[in-house]
Amino acid sequence: MAVYKGFEPVIGLEVHAQLFTESKMFCGCKSEYGAEANTLTCPVCLALPGALPVLNKKAVEFAMRMIAAVGGKVHRRSVFARKNYFYPDLPKGYQISQFDKPIGEGGAIEYHSGNGSRKRCRLTRIHLEEDAGKSLHPEHGEGFTRVDLNRCGTPLIEIVSEPEMESPEEAYGYLTKLKQILQYIEVCSGDMEKGHLRCDANVSVRPVGSEKLGTRTELKNMNSFKGVERALKFEIVRQIDLIKAGGKVEQMTLLWDEKKQVAEPMRSKEESHDYRYFPEPDLVNLVIGDAWIESVRLSLPEMPDVRADRFVSQYDLRTYDAAVLTDSRALADYYEQVMTHFDDARAASNWIQTELLALLKDNKQELHDCLVSPEMLGELLSKVKSGDISGKMAKTVFEAMFATGKAPDVIIKEKGLVQVSDESSLIPIIEKVIAAYPDNVAKYRGGKAKLFGFFVGQVMKETDGQANPQTVNKLLKERLDG
C-alpha cells in the first residue's frame, strides 16, 4: 500500500452497543435517552448499600441474538465479573462485566472493504456489561463536574474483533455492516450520536511482509464511523513517521479530537488497566441450554446480505439496487410488501429509490412515519403500468399521497387527473390544433421535424396534460405525416 510507505496497519475494533431493552440490565429503571438528569435511578443503579442486582432476561436474549447473527458460539455457562475502577459516573466503584467466561465467543463479520470486495473479520468475543453514567465536564472554568446517573446500568454488549482489518476504510466497512446487523436483528438502534454505538480502535503498524505485530495503541473518543476512519489514518501516519525517524511506538491510549483532527495521548497515567477482575458475588452463573439457543436462532430475521442476494435472484434486480433496498430491514420489508400488490419488480425498485427515498430525505422523515402504505404505492404503480395515468401525473399523485396519506384513487379524482387514452376524444382536439396552426403545419411538412414537439405541447395544453403522450404521438403522426 503506497500510502503507507512500506508499512501496513493492523486494526482491531471494540464496539459497545447499547441494547434497547425497556428497562435497565439489573433493575427496573427505564432505559431511555434524553430524560431529565437523575430521574431514572433506584437503589441498585445508584449503588445504595444493600441493593442487589437481578439480571434482565431480555438483555441476555439480545446478546444471544447478536452471537447467533454473526455465527458465534454461546457459552453454556458464563460468569459476571467486577471490573474495578474509580470514576464519578460509576457509583459502585466497579462495572459489572464479563471477563474470562463471556457469554459469546467467535463468529465473524463479512463487510465491504472499500475497494469493492467483501472481506471477513473474525470476532474474538461478545460479552454483556452495564453502562456507566454520564459526566458533564466544566465548560466555563467551573470548579466541578456534573454527573447524571440515568445511563447507569443500561445493558451493553461489547463486540471485540480480532486484529484483522488492514486499513481505516476496512474499519469503516466493518462498522457499517456491524450496525446494519444490530439494526436488522433489532437489538440496538445503532445511533452513534446518542452514544448507542461506541467504538474504540486498536492499531499497530509493521513493515509489509512482516508477520510480527508491532506495538499497538488504543484510540478512544470517536463519535462517528468517519471519525474512526480519520482517527485511524492520523494514528497510522504518526506511528510510521515515528518509526522512520528511529523512534519506538509506546503502548498508550490516545483521545481523538474531532475539532483539531488530532489524536492526543491521555494525560493521566491512571489507566494502568489494573482492574482486578473477580467473579461478581451478587449474581449467580448464567447457564444457557441448547433449546434456548435454538429458539433464539430460529427467531432471527433473514440477514441483509442473504436478503440482497435473494432480491437479485427472486426479483431480477441489479446488485446495487438490491443493496440499497436491503440497507434497512424496514425498507426491504416495504419493498416486498409493495411487490405483493404490484408485479413489476424493477419499476417498484426505481420508484422507491428515486421518488420515495428522495421525499423522505427532503422531509427528514423515517420510513415508519411515511403515510403512503406499500399497498397504496402498489396501486399507484399499477395505474401507471396500465396507462391510466402518466408517469408525470403519478409523481404529482405520489407527492399528494405522501403529504396527506390519501389513497391514489381519491387524489386522482380530486385533481381530475385521469389520463385520456381514448382516441375518439383526442382526435377532435388534435384536429383543432392542426387547423389552428396552418403555417407550422406547412413548415413541418417542409422538413422542420422539430416542430412535432410543438404540436404535442399544444395538445397537452388543450387537455390540461391529461392526454396519453403515446396516443397523442401516434394520432399526430398519422395526421401530419399521412
Partner 1 sequence: MPLEKAQVEHIAHLARLKLSPDELEKLTLEMAVIIDYFEQLQMVDTDGVEPRDQFITAENVFRDDTVRPSLKQGQALGNAPESDGKFFHVPKVIG
Question: Is 149 among the residues that bind partner 1 (CB under 8 A)?
Answer: yes
Count of residues of this chain found to bind partner 1 when the rule CB under 8 A is applied = 51
CB of 296 to partner 1, least distance (A): 15
> Among residue numbers 417 through 456, which ones bind partner 1 (CB under 8 A)?
none
> What does the alpha-carbon distance between residue 145 and residue 312 come to, in Å, rounded to a whole number?
54
Cβ-based nearer residue to partner 1, 64 or 376: 64
SS3 216: coil
**Of 1, 5, 30, 470, which one interacts with partner 1 (CB under 8 A)?**
30
CB of 160 to partner 1, least distance (A): 21
Closest CA to 370 of 352, 344, 354, 393: 352
- CA-to-CA separations, 194 to 33, 223, 252, 371, in angstroms, rounded: 7, 9, 27, 27
**Of 60, 103, 123, 384, which one interacts with partner 1 (CB under 8 A)?**
60
> Other C-beta atoms within 10 Å of 367: how many?
15
> What does the alpha-carbon distance between residue 283 and residue 281 come to, in Å, rounded to a whole number?
6
CB of 277 to partner 1, least distance (A): 11
Cβ-based nearer residue to partner 1, 116 or 143: 143
Cβ-based nearer residue to partner 1, 85 or 437: 85
Q: Which stretch binds partner 1 (CB under 8 A): 37-45, 223-231, 460-468, 471-479?
A: 37-45
CB of 301 to partner 1, least distance (A): 20
**Of 142, 211, 250, 439, which one interacts with partner 1 (CB under 8 A)?**
142
CB of 112 to partner 1, least distance (A): 34
Question: Is 55 among the residues that bind partner 1 (CB under 8 A)?
Answer: yes
Look at the chain and count its residues. Answer: 482
Q: What is the DSSP string of 311-325?
A: HHHHH---HHHHHHH
> What does the alpha-carbon distance between residue 274 and residue 479 come to, in Å, rounded to a whole number?
91
**Of 145, 210, 299, 386, which one interacts with partner 1 (CB under 8 A)?**
145
Cβ-based nearer residue to partner 1, 275 or 454: 275
> Other C-beta atoms within 10 Å of 256: how many?
23
CB of 142 to partner 1, least distance (A): 7
**Of 1, 3, 43, 210, which one interacts with partner 1 (CB under 8 A)?**
43
Q: What is the DSSP string of 160-201?
A: EE-S-B-SHHHHHHHHHHHHHHHHHTTS----TTTTSEEEEE
> Other C-beta atoms within 10 Å of 465: how many?
16
Q: Which stretch binds partner 1 (CB under 8 A): 136-144, 294-302, 341-349, 461-469?
A: 136-144
CB of 35 to partner 1, least distance (A): 9
Q: Which stretch binds partner 1 (CB under 8 A): 22-30, 307-315, 325-333, 352-360?
A: 22-30
SS3 155: strand
Question: Is 139 among the residues that bind partner 1 (CB under 8 A)?
Answer: yes
> Other C-beta atoms within 10 Å of 117: how many?
8
Question: Is 265 among the residues that bind partner 1 (CB under 8 A)?
Answer: no
Site string for partner 1, 94-123 (x = CB under 8 A): -------x----------------------
Backbone angles phi, psi at 165, to 5 degrees: -90, 145
**Of 6, 28, 405, 457, which one interacts with partner 1 (CB under 8 A)?**
28
Question: Is 21 among the residues that bind partner 1 (CB under 8 A)?
Answer: yes
Q: Which stretch binds partner 1 (CB under 8 A): 2-10, 139-147, 377-385, 425-433?
A: 139-147
SS3 348: helix
Question: Is 136 among the residues that bind partner 1 (CB under 8 A)?
Answer: yes
DSSP-derived letter for residue 152 is T
Question: Is 147 among the residues that bind partner 1 (CB under 8 A)?
Answer: yes
Closest CA to 400 of 414, 388, 387, 386: 414
> Among residue numbers 76 through 95, which ones bind partner 1 (CB under 8 A)?
79, 84, 86-88
Question: Is 146 among the residues that bind partner 1 (CB under 8 A)?
Answer: yes
> What does the alpha-carbon distance between residue 198 and residue 176 come to, in Å, rounded to a whole number?
12
* Contact assessment for residue 82 and residue 26, using Cβ atoms and an 8 Å cutoff: no
Backbone angles phi, psi at 222, to 5 degrees: -90, 135
CB of 313 to partner 1, least distance (A): 38
Site string for partner 1, 276-305 (x = CB under 8 A): x--x-x-xxxxx------------------
CB of 138 to partner 1, least distance (A): 5
Query: Angle 242-12-329 (CA atoms, 0-180°, nearest 5)?
Result: 140
CB of 199 to partner 1, least distance (A): 21
How far is Cα of residue 156 from the mean position of the Cα atoms in its chain?
18
> What does the alpha-carbon distance between residue 326 and residue 146 come to, in Å, rounded to a whole number?
42
Closest CA to 215 of 243, 187, 190, 189: 243
> What does the alpha-carbon distance between residue 350 and residue 137 come to, in Å, rounded to a whole number?
49
> Other C-beta atoms within 10 Å of 449: how many?
9
Q: Which stretch binds partner 1 (CB under 8 A): 15-23, 202-210, 215-223, 330-338?
A: 15-23
Interface contacts to partner 1, rule CB under 8 A: 21-23, 27-30, 36-43, 46, 54-60, 79, 84, 86-88, 101, 135-139, 142-149, 274, 276, 279, 281, 283-287
